[in-house]
């Protein structure tokens, strides 16, 4: 494993940490950047597994709150409902993720034009929703009704197409279902934990035979960089969207997707 490969892994980990929790598609960014700089990971596992590093950032920030919920769950109906809410939202991704895993990795991950197009489409949707989302009825991400959580979980499954954005899909779904901008972002954070842990575990198991020492070193570097970067992003994001909304991320998606699409179409 040469130092250049580890440097590229660290660079992609930085992109992952910066983009995982903002609605711009971290996977889409990593796959497009990897395509243009010539980064190839074994079985495209690196691009999935390093996302868990970003999720650990959520655990580090919300550890006290989550521990309180777990301890209170046996006697507190509100705590139990929050746990059920996240699990209900997570369930659709389990089913569809397992059934569609192979086509996601071998077709969607290998089609840069699709990824760039989804960045653009998602950007337009985000701009539209940021303007027309209904008046919020739910201000607390830990008190979403179970039916609302399940619908958000269904919408999250759209993000199995790289470029759509897991956080973008869940935030847009939550906003349209009556969540405030801050609670939509927070619920997306909470839902990322079981979703990314599940993706990490399943993808690592499926790819166990193609990972050599070099691949593990790349994953370790990307994982650590993603976690450190994501801690900084999460602390900033909630305050930013509470004040400014999501339009800036919509424009970012359109610009990045447009530039990537033009570059792909002009390539020999």
pLDDT of res. 8 = 87
Tokens of 188: 């997306």
Q: Report the alpha-carbon distance of residue 27 to residue 128 in Å, rounded.
A: 23
Distance in angstroms (rounded) separating the CA atoms of residues 24 and 26: 6
3 state SS of 230: helix
How far CA 46 is from CA of 11, 102, 215, in Å, comes to 13, 16, 8
Alpha carbon 253 to its chain's center? 14
- Which residue from 14, 7, 69 is spatially nearest to 39, judged by alpha carbons? 7
- Give the C-alpha separation, 197 to 29, whole Å: 20
Residues contacting 258, CB < 8 A, separation 6+ = 116, 120
pLDDT of residue 234: 83
According to DSSP H, which parts of 107-145 are helical?
Answer: 112-132
Question: Which of these, 136, 152, 130, 179, lies nearest to 85 by C-alpha position?
Answer: 152
Q: What angle do CA 171, 17, 253 make, to 5 degrees?
A: 50
Render pLDDT for 40-91 as a digit per residue (tens, 0 to 9): 776 567 777 788 788 788 888 888 888 999 999 999 999 999 999 999 999 9
Q: What's residue 173's pLDDT?
A: 94
Q: Which pLDDT belongs to residue 44? A: 67
Model confidence, pTM: 0.84
Q: Cα separation of 133 and 219, whole Å?
A: 38
**How many Cβ atoms from other residues are within 10 Å of residue 214's Cβ?**
15
pLDDT tens, per residue, the chain with 268 residues: 568 888 888 998 999 888 888 899 888 898 899 889 888 776 567 777 788 788 788 888 888 888 999 999 999 999 999 999 999 999 999 999 888 888 887 888 878 999 999 999 999 999 999 888 889 999 999 999 999 999 999 999 998 888 999 899 999 999 999 999 999 999 998 998 888 888 878 777 877 776 776 778 888 888 899 889 988 888 788 788 888 888 999 999 999 999 999 999 987 6
């Amino acid at each position: 494993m040469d130092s250049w490969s580890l440097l590229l892994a660290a660079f992609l980990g930085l992109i992952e940490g910066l983009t995982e929790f903002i609605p711009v598609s971290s996977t889409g960014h990593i796959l497009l950047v990897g395509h243009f700089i010539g980064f190839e990971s074994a079985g495209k596992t690196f691009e999935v597994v390093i996302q868990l590093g970003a999720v650990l950032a959520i655990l580090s920030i919300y550890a006290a709150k989550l521990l309180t919920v777990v301890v209170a769950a046996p006697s507190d109906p509100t705590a139990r409902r929050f746990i059920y809410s996240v699990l209900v939202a997570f369930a659709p991704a389990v089913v569809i993720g397992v059934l569609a895993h192979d086509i996601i990795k071998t077709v969607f991950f290998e089609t840069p034009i699709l990824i760039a197009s989804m960045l653009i489409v998602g950007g337009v949707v985000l701009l539209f929703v940021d303007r027309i989302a209904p008046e919020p009825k739910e201000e607390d991400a830990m008190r979403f009704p179970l039916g609302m959580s399940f619908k958000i979980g269904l919408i999250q499954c759209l993000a199995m197409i790289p470029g759509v954005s897991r956080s973008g899909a869940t935030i847009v779904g939550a906003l349209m279902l009556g969540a405030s901008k801050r609670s939509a972002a927070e619920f997306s954070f909470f839902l990322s934990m079981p979703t990314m842990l599940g993706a990490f575990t399943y993808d690592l198991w499926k790819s166990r035979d193609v990972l050599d020492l070099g691949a593990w070193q790349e994953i370790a570097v990307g994982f650590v960089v993603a976690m450190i970067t994501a801690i900084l992003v999460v602390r900033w994001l909630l305050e930013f969207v509470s004040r400014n909304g999501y339009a800036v991320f919509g424009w970012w998606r359109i610009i990045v997707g447009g530039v990537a699409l033009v570059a792909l179409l002009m390539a020999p």
